[in-house]
Homo-oligomer: A and B are copies of this chain.
Amino acid sequence: MAILHHHPFCPHSRFVRLILAELGIEAELVEEKPWERRVPLLELNPAGNLPLLLDDSGLAVPGPAVIAEYLDDTRGPTLGDRRFLPQDPAGRVEVRRLVDWFLGKFHGEVSDYLATEKIYKRFMPLELGGGPPDMSAIRAARANVRYHLKYIGYLIATRNWLAGRHLSYADLAAAAHLSIVDYLGDVPWDEDETAKHWYARIKSRPSFRTLLADRVPGMAPWEHYDNLDF
């Protein structure tokens, strides 16, 4: 069986868990604390970032974008319309542009700040940066999430899914990153009904279930986190 080294509140790990679930690939989940930089993990992935997929053959595939491409290379061609990177080059550009947006820009401006400040720091030892959250980082993330939500609403206003007609990696990346922010109650859903409906649609998919069951010890989610009709 494949093995996924992940953290339940790492948004990149959640993106890959969604892909695996959508593709029906079972994987054993091994929880990692990203701040520990365990040597066995660094031997498999010198960059040390999460998640890391070990496929059935033992091949180590590191990082969310590389894993997504690998799964498209190896599983995509047989999926037809259910392929998360479409066949046509222009469609692939649009999906990758948006994946890059959420794994890069949204992460750097929103989800990394919130996961680090509100979740990881509760569990990190002081000498590795643990302690109380930096409120200015949290305020910045809360301000930034608003224009990302608007951008999602803007795209969905003319498209069925984020990158076009079909569900794609773009939706899975966006929803995975938003799901962390949503756990914390920091998505201003009322500001964009279109984006909210898109999220409700994707949140209702069976692939989302295990994400909605995750809990941060000692920290309850926002009341509508696992409510499919929020």
Residues in A lying within 8 Å of B, measured CB to CB: 45-47, 59-63, 65-66, 69-70, 73-74, 89-90, 92-93, 96-97, 100-101, 104-105, 151
Copies in the complex: 2
B93 and A70 form a contact (CB under 8 A): yes
**Which residues of B have CB within 8 Å of A151?**
46
**Which residues of B have CB within 8 Å of A104?**
47
Provide the bound-state CA to CA distance between A73 and B88, in Å. Answer: 9
A180: min CB distance to chain B, Å: 20
Provide the bound-state CA to CA distance between A46 and B92, in Å. Answer: 17
A92 and B70 form a contact (CB under 8 A): yes
Provide the bound-state CA to CA distance between A111 and B151, in Å. Answer: 30
Known: A59-B93, A65-B65, A93-B61. A100 touches B70 (CB 8 A): no
Provide the bound-state CA to CA distance between A104 and B66, in Å. Answer: 13
**Which residues of B have CB within 8 Å of A46?**
151
Known: A61-B93, A66-B96. A105 touches B73 (CB 8 A): no
A47 and B100 form a contact (CB under 8 A): yes
Provide the bound-state CA to CA distance between A62 and B104, in Å. Answer: 13
**Which residues of B have CB within 8 Å of A96?**
65-66, 69-70
**Which residues of B have CB within 8 Å of A93?**
59-61, 66, 70
**Which residues of B have CB within 8 Å of A59?**
89-90, 93
